[in-house]
Structure 1
Amino acid sequence: MRSTRSTTRRLVSRTAAASVVVAALALVGFQAAGAASAATATKASPVVTCTAANTKLTVSTVSRPINHLLLKATNTGAKPCYAYSAPFLRAGADAQAPLRWVEESTPQSVLMLEPGQSAYAGISAYSPDGEGGSQVTTLGVLFTDKKGNATATEKSLKLPGGGLFFNSAAAVTYWQDNAADALVW
């Protein structure tokens, strides 16, 4: 009987010790996970809105489709930035309203540009269905904020080739992650 009690005590002692070890390891693991997530949170840069201050803008002509331009925005900042919606574009210095946005080009999510990455918007300058129009030599570009409003600073770009004809059918796509998708519309 004595050996049974002894064996039972050793078994209970080992089980209790194992439970203590498991609990201690779980606590250490929990604390380490918390420390790791806190370290990750302090390392992660907050994402800002893409603006004329942290983004380089260029506009170029394309061979196809005809009457189109390609607007490229490259994040030159140190933090990632969101390229919200579509840019507000002013075709010419005396334009009364921004170009309309091509709603069919809305991407599934907001584009986030890491430093050095680019977003693209296709610009349709005119269509035979449009009315009026004039030769335009500059393009005013304003980024969009999270709420859909224009950001404060406009960047003026000279259009390549001395300008392009714009009429009432002119439009711009939402920001896309590649040039081919931006030029579909």
Structure 2
Amino acid sequence: MRTLNFRRAARTSALGTVALIASLSLTACQGDDPEPYDALPSASAGSASKTPAESAGSSGDKGTAAPDADQGKDATGSGSGGGTSTTKPKDDSGNGNGNGGSGGSDDNANTATVTCTGGNTKLSITEISRPVNHMLLTMTNTGSKACNAYYYPYLKFGEAQSVPNTFEDSKPQAVVTINPGESAYAGVMTSSADGSGSNGYSAKDLSVSFQNRDGNSDNTGSSVSVPLSKSVHVDSSLTVSYWQMSMDDALTY
């Protein structure tokens, strides 16, 4: 009888251990979910008349994009990089120290993820045939740690003195996290297809700045110059999407 009771107790203990391990595994899986944007601090919209450098300490303009009847969802185009990670950001205090713009060094060796900046990424932009008047901005993680692509890029075509509008509908549910060697994407509508845009001009260069978790450009390093293959016509309809995990998502808007 004592032997039987001992075996039952051992079996109960084993089942309890299995249940505990399963519970911990489930918690760990839930902890790997990407950080939802709703959990981030609310960033107040910055002045549209300020450049990204002047807007440090406040978020960029998050205005509503002008509708474009020719915008489609069957976009095709070229871009480098692969998919993105869904690892939950744990600490983005570092800024990396790779090629590109000048970002602060990552002093925290235990940091799981860092903020994507010019110091740990490489940027390229490609002209896209569809949707018309669109370009694809690709950001590839060149650092040794996964980085968080917060919100959307600050763009400055030529001598522009304002932050472009943003496709608010492009805001994903969670922050895009990029593993080393992989890429994130942002779609850019440079001008209206129906000619409704105003103050058009030809831009021969582009600079890009980054946002941090608080929705501003503090501690993200200087802007990065992105080569253009040819002059780009830009007008008041200039609008950019949030960072996306895929090229198709970036060019949907």
TM class by shorter-chain length?
A: 0.7 to 0.9
Structure 2, gaps ≥5 residues long = 28-109
Q: Retained in 1: the 8 A contact 2:206–2:225?
A: yes
Residue in 2 that maps onto 1:8: none
1:109 Cα deviation from its structure 2 partner: 1.4
Whole-angstrom CA distance in 2 between matches of 1:27 and 1:132: 69
Residue in 2 that maps onto 1:147: 214
The structure with the larger Rg is: 1
Equivalent position amino acid for 1:71 in 2: L
1:65 Cα deviation from its structure 2 partner: 1.8
Counting strand residues as a fraction of each chain, which structure ranks higher?
1
Structure 1, gaps ≥5 residues long = 1-10, 38-43
Alignment of 1:98-177 (within 5 A): 98-127=163-192, 128-150=195-217, 151-161=220-230, 163-177=231-245
When residues 26 and 179 of structure 1 are mapped into structure 2, their CA distance, relative to the original with a 3 A threshold, is: closer
Q: Retained in 2: the 8 A contact 1:100–1:170?
A: yes
Equivalent position amino acid for 1:14 in 2: T
Q: Retained in 1: the 8 A contact 2:124–2:139?
A: yes
Q: How many residues align?
A: 168
Q: List structure 1 segments (4+ residues) > 4 angstroms apart after TM superposition.
A: 19-33
Aligned to 1:89, which of 152, 155, 160?
A: 155
Alignment root-mean-square deviation, CA: 3.0
Deviation per CA, 1:84-131: give whole Å up to 9, x if none.
111111111x22112111111111211111111111111111112211
Whole-angstrom CA distance in 2 between matches of 1:24 and 1:132: 74
Counting helix residues as a fraction of each chain, which structure ranks higher?
1
What TM-score, normalized by structure 1, do the two folds share? 0.77
What TM-score, normalized by structure 2, do the two folds share? 0.58
